């Protein structure tokens, strides 16, 4: 039986490895085509990863990616494509910043309260798409894309200085949050920087994600719905309720994905708050195969490409364009989608053949002890 | 010879789907291929149509040895297939559907239109090239499918269960079309398990059983009974003699159950876009009842069989009983409690077992390991769960037990359900459902596509549970299974229970005629029919 476990690991690992190798090779092809050294940029970027200040940047960035990717993965596990993570994340961060700037509770209440605000905002925003889907049959893909766009306008309106906006220099912000809502980080020294305290929230969410999906009844129903909606319905899953619940949870997680940055570093929502996190997270969730460990590796890889690539611009003697990393990220997503499907089908066929062969061998040798009895 | 198959063998993991099959189709004839569900007809036709490669044996078309590696090869050799499930784009016209993928043959404009019109006229298909497919009824769509195949130059047509979706008048029209094709020198391979139809349209009949050809027959010299015997062989289940286990304790009472067709107001069902369905014949404003005032009672220890041509309300009855489709009116009472408003999960928890009609779509998570499939449908119950949490250890241990007790042939419980053969998948489902001590079991086609060994085991399990007081609703297309297992029999036709019969005396032929709506009320095994069958018995 162990053999089939190994099989699963092989199938699980083969996909990402093939995808990454293919993406690196294709990136090298791009470099050769533009007359550059096809290997030097990788060396330069890996060198960057050796510096502890870059490492801190990578870990911090990865924590945001990780939470957002978990939100995407939750949807993926039941065949819901929550493209709206980006809108839910921005709206969640903005509302949290606004509440944090106007309410001052003691720290042990303030931080949980702010997390709750972010989660509820994200859940509400995703819930709109959920309600539309279960009552009117509107595709969640369309609804969440539109909600992203609406979120941009809502944020733009709310951050007008006539409303909640506060002008700091020439940057429109939501005002500095009360410091009881600041989450202290791990200070690694003046030159190195600080790891966000909420990195641990990301880790906790990863563990919770695994536990809920693999060890609870609810998680089983959710996965069953993703694997076969008809089988899940026959097994007693209420499809509509499941869609709505999954959408709400996904939105809640998305709503807090900006908080490590907000509560740990910038303490205000402003025009310069990073956008597009939710879209990046889709690629990360894909690369990580919706698996909490895989997503962690994918988030770190993405953050590495983000944070190690700026150095390419300043490389001596030859500078490279830092957009190489962007090209690579795009190629990874492509390669991932193709290689996963190919590996999945290959794995399924391979197992069918093996089971057939094993049973045939068993039939040929009736005295052999049945393995299941062992 | 149009087509000649010799010694075809095809093995799938753990099961031989086709074994040493011989089939000879002469030019200008309708050749019927009959056999039970799961006998291997579809596999054989997939081989002939190039969708699968045989492991052994040879295919000859017009006397020439051929080897197909895709349907395109088969089409190039003049073999075309009309699938049971139509493959048409609703939002395109007939013309567009026909030329789709074969634009090179006659273009996409006037040339194509002329050719379509010409084919339609020659074979009397009556197809209008510019009609939108979504406006067409089922029979018209089927004619479009036939035309599509002819347009691509097919000289041999494979029709897979073409009558399954048609009403009797449409069947007659189809048969007239087939005779037209025949007179033009084309050959038709007609797959069916409806003996009456086969006898009326075929020039030759090949019977396939358990994956191999067991003989050929000429319709003029064959009776339905002889055909049926060839089809099921000596494995006819012996009808239960005496020893009734029926008690007078009602387990399930269904009162005036009515379900409207999809599209009508009905709570709890998925609102799917209407484009997915076939055209509704019911005029606007009038709601078609797919289940109409159905009333019955099943007692402890009783197996009630429902006979009927597929699509007469069986699926809706199952859905209404398990709760995936809400009843529009009427009542379902289970062990004295009105469960009509209950959700599926509550019904299953309270002791309704369910062997679904389509195990791949409704009974299994194909890409999940066997032990997760053991949890499916019983996720809230021991040994699969402890309160809110899953109990993988418990589920795994119990899966091993089921594998052992129900003789599921598998190397382990961590393999995916997809890697098991159909019979073993079904044994796992039966084992799973029986493990929760159901009081009432919905068994829909419990042995469909299952090899004979597994079939006997599944029947034994159902009989065993029945002795211990299980109430069973048995829905099957296999009349012998129905007669052999049931204590009481009902016939469903057009959403209504139109007749009942005593399985101890009824014959498959009598039941078959009631399934077409020809007979209603209580079916007696009449002297007339006994006299009819007597000479056949002698002939045997």
B16's tokens: 């031989």
Quote ipTM for the complex.
0.85
Q: Map residue B470 onto helix, strand or coil.
A: coil
Q: How far apart are CA B69 and CA B76, in angstroms?
A: 12
Task: Work out whether strand B204-209 and strand B212-217 pair parallel, antiparallel, or are unpaired.
Answer: antiparallel
Q: Chain centroid to CA A253: how far?
A: 10
Q: Map residue B352 onto helix, strand or coil.
A: strand
Residue A366: the pLDDT is: 53
For every residue of A222-248, DSSP letters joined together read HHHHHH-HHHHHHTT--HHHHHHHHHH
The answer to whether B356 contacts chain A (CB < 8 Å) is yes
* Helix extents (H) in B185-333: 195-201, 224-232, 314-322
Which helix H or strand E contains B289, and what residues bound it?
strand B289-299
A269's tokens: 């929502």
A358 contacts on B by Cβ (under 8 Å): 411
Cα–Cα distances in Å, from B275 out to A269, B64, B134, B334? Answer: 46, 44, 8, 36
Restricting to B residues 248-267, those with a Cβ less than 8 Å away from any Cβ of A are: none
* Helix extents (H) in chain A: 2-33, 40-48, 52-76, 85-102, 107-136, 140-158, 199-215, 217-227, 229-234, 239-255, 259-261, 277-287, 292-308, 323-364
Instruction: Compute the nearest-CA separation of B409 from chain A (Å).
Output: 7
Cα–Cα distances in Å, from A152 out to A86, A158, A250? Answer: 10, 10, 19
Contact A219 B390 (CB under 8 A): yes
Looking at residue B101, the DSSP 8-state letter turns out to be: T
B193's tokens: 């398990």
Enter the CATH code of domain A54-319: 1.10.3470
Residue B452: the pLDDT is: 63
Out of B11, B388, B418, name the one closest to residue A216 (CB).
B388
Instruction: Compute the nearest-CA separation of B348 from chain A (Å).
Output: 7
Q: Chain centroid to CA B381: how far?
A: 32
Task: Work out whether strand B187-192 and strand B156-160 pair parallel, antiparallel, or are unpaired.
Answer: parallel
Looking at residue A258, the DSSP 8-state letter turns out to be: T
- pLDDT grade, residue A282 (50/70/90)? very high
Instruction: Compute the nearest-CA separation of B364 from chain A (Å).
Output: 6
Instruction: Compute the nearest-CA separation of A241 from chain B (Å).
Output: 11
Q: How far apart are CA A239 and CA A134, in angstroms?
A: 9
**φ, ψ of residue A271 in degrees (nearest 5):** -60, -25
Cα dihedral A213, A219, A220, A222 sign: negative
Residue with the two structure tokens 């195990």: B359
pTM: 0.76
B377 contacts on A by Cβ (under 8 Å): 234-236
Cα–Cα distances in Å, from B308 out to A263, B163, B195, B474? Answer: 67, 14, 14, 12
Contact B412 A372 (CB under 8 A): yes
Residue in chain A closest to B399 (alpha carbons) equals A372
Q: Any bridge partners for residue B81, and if so which?
A: B158
Q: Map residue B338 onto helix, strand or coil.
A: strand
Contact B413 A359 (CB under 8 A): no
Residue B32 backbone class (left: φ over 0; alpha: ψ -120 to 50; beta: rest): beta
Out of B346, B376, B416, name the one closest to residue A224 (CB).
B376
Q: Are B178 and B190 in contact (CB under 8 A)?
A: yes
List every span in chain B annotated with CATH 3.40.50.300. Answer: 3-233, 250-265+276-355+438-529
Fold of B3-233: Rossmann fold (3.40.50)
Residue in chain A closest to B408 (alpha carbons) equals A372
CA-wise closest residue to A218 among B367, B389, B378, B366: B389
CA-wise closest residue to B106 among B49, B148, B157, B136: B148
Residue A114: the pLDDT is: 96
Contact A216 B380 (CB under 8 A): no
**A207-260: pLDDT as tens digits:** 999 999 999 999 999 999 999 989 999 999 998 899 999 999 999 999 999 999
- pLDDT grade, residue A82 (50/70/90)? very high
Instruction: Compute the nearest-CA separation of A151 from chain B (Å).
Output: 29
Residue B275: the pLDDT is: 37
Q: How many CB atoms lie within 10 A of CB B56?
A: 14
As a whole number, the mean pLDDT across chain A is: 89
B361 contacts on A by Cβ (under 8 Å): 228, 230-231
Restricting to B residues 376-415, those with a Cβ less than 8 Å away from any Cβ of A are: 376-380, 385, 388-390, 392, 400, 403-404, 409-415
Out of A231, A360, A373, name the one closest to residue B365 (CB).
A231
Residue in chain B closest to A358 (alpha carbons) equals B411
HSE-CB of B444 using CA atoms within 13 angstroms: 20
Out of B273, B358, B389, name the one closest to residue A216 (CB).
B389
Residue B538: the pLDDT is: 37
Contact A352 B419 (CB under 8 A): yes
Strand order in B471-475's β-sheet?
Answer: B352-355, B440-444, B471-475, B303-307, B488-493, B496-501, B521-523
Q: Are B353 and B431 in contact (CB under 8 A)?
A: no
Contact A359 B13 (CB under 8 A): yes
CA-wise closest residue to A178 among A83, A270, A251, A263: A263
Out of B13, B354, B388, name the one closest to residue A356 (CB).
B13
Q: Chain centroid to CA B370: how far?
A: 25
Task: Work out whether strand B64-66 and strand B56-61 pair parallel, antiparallel, or are unpaired.
Answer: antiparallel
Contact A221 B379 (CB under 8 A): yes
For every residue of A277-302, DSSP letters joined together read HHHHHHHHHHHTTT-HHHHHHHHHHH
Out of A4, A231, A353, name the one closest to residue B364 (CB).
A231
Which helix H or strand E contains B15, and what residues bound it?
strand B15-25
Out of A217, A231, A351, name the one closest to residue B419 (CB).
A351
Contact A355 B324 (CB under 8 A): no
Residue in chain B closest to A344 (alpha carbons) equals B367
Q: Map residue A61 onto helix, strand or coil.
A: helix
Out of B361, B377, B385, name the one closest to residue A217 (CB).
B385
Q: Are A159 and A91 in contact (CB under 8 A)?
A: no
CA-wise closest residue to A5 among B412, B105, B465: B412
**B6-48: pLDDT as tens digits:** 988 887 655 567 888 899 999 999 999 887 666 778 788 888 9
Which superfamily, per CATH, for B250-265+276-355+438-529?
Answer: P-loop containing nucleotide triphosphate hydrolases (3.40.50.300)
Which helix H or strand E contains B378, and what residues bound it?
none
A215 contacts on B by Cβ (under 8 Å): 389-390, 392
| Domains of chain A, residue spans | 1-36+325-363, 54-319
B522's tokens: 């209580």
Instruction: Compute the nearest-CA separation of A127 from chain B (Å).
Output: 19
**φ, ψ of residue B23 in degrees (nearest 5):** -150, 125
If you compute the radius of gyration of chain B from its CA atoms, what whole number of angstroms results? 24
For every residue of B36-73, DSSP letters joined together read -TTSSHHHHHHHHTTSS--SEEEEEETTEEE--SSHHH
Contact A215 B271 (CB under 8 A): no
| Cβ burial, residue B275 (10 Å; 0-12/13-18/19+) | exposed
A341's tokens: 């499907």
B406 contacts on A by Cβ (under 8 Å): none
Instruction: Compute the nearest-CA separation of A372 from chain B (Å).
Output: 6
Instruction: Compute the nearest-CA separation of A135 from chain B (Å).
Output: 9
Contact A239 B379 (CB under 8 A): no
A240 contacts on B by Cβ (under 8 Å): 270
The answer to whether B362 contacts chain A (CB < 8 Å) is yes
B472's tokens: 């069973």
Out of B344, B368, B390, name the one closest to residue A217 (CB).
B390
B367 contacts on A by Cβ (under 8 Å): 227, 348
Contact A233 B385 (CB under 8 A): no
CA-wise closest residue to A261 among A56, A61, A59, A58: A61
Residue B167: the pLDDT is: 67
Contact A4 B414 (CB under 8 A): yes
CA-wise closest residue to B321 among B335, B311, B331: B331
Q: Chain centroid to CA A308: how far?
A: 20
Residue in chain B closest to A351 (alpha carbons) equals B419
Contact A234 B345 (CB under 8 A): no
B400 contacts on A by Cβ (under 8 Å): 372
Q: Chain centroid to CA B465: how far?
A: 25
**A174-204: pLDDT as tens digits:** 889 998 989 898 888 888 889 999 999 999 9
A219 contacts on B by Cβ (under 8 Å): 390
pLDDT tens by residue, chain B, 540 residues = 788 999 888 876 555 678 888 999 999 999 998 876 667 787 888 889 888 888 888 999 988 898 888 888 898 899 999 887 788 888 899 999 999 888 888 878 888 899 999 888 888 888 888 888 888 877 888 889 999 999 988 899 999 888 776 766 778 888 988 888 888 889 999 888 777 788 888 999 998 877 788 888 888 888 777 777 777 665 544 545 446 788 888 999 999 999 987 643 333 334 343 333 344 443 444 567 889 999 999 999 999 999 887 778 888 999 999 999 888 999 999 999 999 999 999 999 999 999 998 888 899 998 899 999 999 999 999 899 988 999 999 999 999 999 999 888 888 888 888 888 777 899 999 999 999 999 999 999 898 767 666 778 888 889 888 988 999 999 987 777 888 889 999 999 888 998 888 888 887 777 777 777 777 788 776 544 443 433 333 333
B365 contacts on A by Cβ (under 8 Å): 224, 227-228, 231
Out of A217, A348, A352, name the one closest to residue B388 (CB).
A217
Residue B141: the pLDDT is: 86
Contact A356 B403 (CB under 8 A): no
Q: How many CB atoms lie within 10 A of CB B16?
A: 18
Residue B191: the pLDDT is: 87
When scoring B402, B411, B424 by the number of chain A Cβ atoms within 10 A, the one with the most, hence best to mutate, is B411
């Amino acid at each position: 039986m162990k053999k089939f476990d190994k099989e699963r690991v092989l199938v699980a690992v083969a996909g990402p490895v093939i995808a990454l190798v293919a993406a690196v090779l294709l990136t090298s092809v791009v470099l050769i085509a533009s007359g550059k050294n096809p290997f030097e940029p990788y060396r330069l970027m890996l060198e960057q990863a050796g510096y502890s200040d870059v490492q801190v940047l990578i870990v911090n960035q990865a924590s945001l990616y990780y939470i957002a990717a978990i939100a995407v993965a939750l949807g993926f596990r039941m065949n819901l494509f929550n493209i709206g993570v980006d809108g839910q994340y921005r709206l969640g961060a903005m509302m949290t910043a606004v509440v944090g700037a106007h309410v001052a509770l003691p720290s042990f209440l303030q931080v949980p309260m702010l997390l709750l605000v972010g989660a509820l905002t994200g859940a509400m925003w995703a819930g709109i798409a959920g309600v539309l889907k279960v009552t009117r049959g509107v595709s969640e893909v369309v609804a969440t894309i539109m909600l992203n766009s609406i979120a941009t306008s809502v944020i733009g309106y709310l951050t007008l200085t006539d409303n909640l906006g506060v002008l700091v220099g020439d940057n429109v912000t939501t005002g500095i949050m009360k410091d009881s809502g600041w989450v202290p980080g791990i200070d690694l020294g003046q030159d190195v920087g600080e790891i966000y305290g909420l990195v641990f929230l990301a880790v906790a969410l990863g563990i919770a994600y695994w536990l809920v999906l693999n060890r609870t009844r609810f998680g089983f129903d959710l996965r069953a719905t993703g694997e076969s909606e008809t089988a899940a319905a026959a097994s007693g899953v209420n499809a509509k309720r499941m869609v709505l619940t999954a959408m709400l949870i996904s939105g809640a997680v998305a709503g807090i994905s900006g908080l490590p940055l907000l509560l740990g570093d910038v303490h205000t929502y402003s025009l310069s708050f990073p956008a597009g996190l939710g879209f990046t997270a889709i690629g990360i969730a894909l690369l990580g195969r919706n698996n909490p460990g895989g997503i962690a590796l994918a988030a770190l890889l993405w953050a590495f490409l983000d944070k190690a690539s700026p150095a390419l611009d300043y490389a001596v003697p030859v500078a490279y364009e830092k957009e190489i990393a962007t090209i690579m990220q795009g190629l990874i997503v492509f390669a991932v989608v193709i290689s996963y499907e190919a590996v999945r089908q290959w794995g399924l066929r391979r197992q069918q053949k093996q089971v057939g062969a094993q049973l045939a061998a068993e039939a040929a040798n009736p005295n052999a002890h049945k393995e299941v009895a062992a | 010879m149009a087509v000649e198959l010799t010694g075809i063998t095809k093995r799938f993991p753990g099961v031989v789907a086709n074994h040493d099959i011989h089939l000879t189709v002469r030019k200008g004839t309708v050749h019927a291929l009959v056999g039970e569900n799961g006998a291997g007809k579809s596999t054989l036709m997939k081989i002939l149509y190039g969708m699968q490669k045989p492991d052994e044996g040879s295919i000859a078309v017009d006397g020439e040895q051929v080897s197909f590696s895709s349907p395109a090869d088969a089409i190039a050799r003049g073999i075309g297939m009309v699938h049971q499930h139509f493959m048409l784009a609703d939002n395109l016209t007939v013309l567009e559907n026909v030329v789709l993928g074969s634009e090179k043959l006659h273009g996409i404009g006037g040339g194509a239109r002329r050719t379509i019109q010409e084919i339609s006229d020659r074979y009397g298909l009556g197809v209008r090239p510019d009609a939108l497919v979504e406006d067409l009824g089922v029979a018209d769509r089927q004619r479009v499918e036939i035309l599509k195949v002819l347009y691509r130059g097919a000289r041999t047509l494979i029709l897979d269960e073409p009558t399954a979706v048609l009403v009797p008048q449409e069947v007659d029209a189809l048969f007239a079309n087939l005779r037209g094709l025949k007179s033009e020198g084309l050959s038709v391979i007609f797959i069916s398990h409806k003996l009456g139809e086969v006898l009326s349209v075929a020039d030759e009949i090949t019977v396939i059983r358990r994956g191999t050809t067991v003989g050929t027959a000429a319709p003029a010299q064959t009776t339905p009974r002889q055909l049926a015997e060839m089809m099921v062989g000596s494995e006819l289940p012996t009808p239960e003699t005496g020893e009734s286990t029926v008690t007078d304790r009602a387990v399930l009472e269904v009162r005036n159950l009515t379900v409207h067709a999809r599209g009508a107001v009905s709570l709890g069902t998925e609102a799917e876009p209407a484009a997915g369905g076939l055209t509704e014949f019911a005029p606007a404003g009038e709601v078609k009842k797919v289940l109409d005032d159905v009333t019955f009672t099943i007692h402890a220890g009783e197996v009630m069989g429902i006979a009927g041509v597929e699509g007469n309300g069986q699926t809706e009855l199952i859905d209404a009983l398990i709760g995936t489709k809400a009843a529009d009116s009427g009542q379902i009472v289970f062990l004295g409690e009105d469960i009509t408003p209950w959700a599926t999960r509550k019904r299953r928890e309270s002791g309704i077992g369910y062997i679904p009609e389509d195990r791949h779509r409704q009974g299994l998570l194909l890409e999940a390991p066997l032990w997760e499939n053991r949890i499916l449908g019983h996720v809230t119950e021991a040994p699969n769960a402890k309160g809110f949490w899953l109990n993988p250890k418990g589920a795994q241990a119990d899966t091993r037990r089921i594998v052992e007790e129900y003789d599921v042939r598998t190397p382990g419980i961590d393999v995916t359900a997809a890697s098991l053969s159909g019979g073993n998948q079904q044994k796992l489902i039966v084992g799973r459902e029986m493990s929760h001590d159901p009081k009432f079991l919905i068994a829909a086609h419990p042995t469909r596509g299952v090899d004979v060994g597994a079939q006997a085991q599944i029947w034994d399990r159902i009989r065993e549970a029945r002795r211990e007081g299980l109430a069973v609703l048995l829905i099957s297309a296999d009349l012998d299974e129905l007669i052999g297992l049931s204590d009481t029999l009902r016939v469903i036709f057009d959403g209504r229970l139109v007749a009942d019969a005593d399985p101890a005396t009824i014959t498959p032929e009598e039941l078959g005629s009631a399934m077409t709506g020809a007979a209603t009320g209580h079916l007696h095994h009449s002297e007339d029919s006994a006299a009819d069958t007597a000479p056949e018995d002698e002939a045997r």
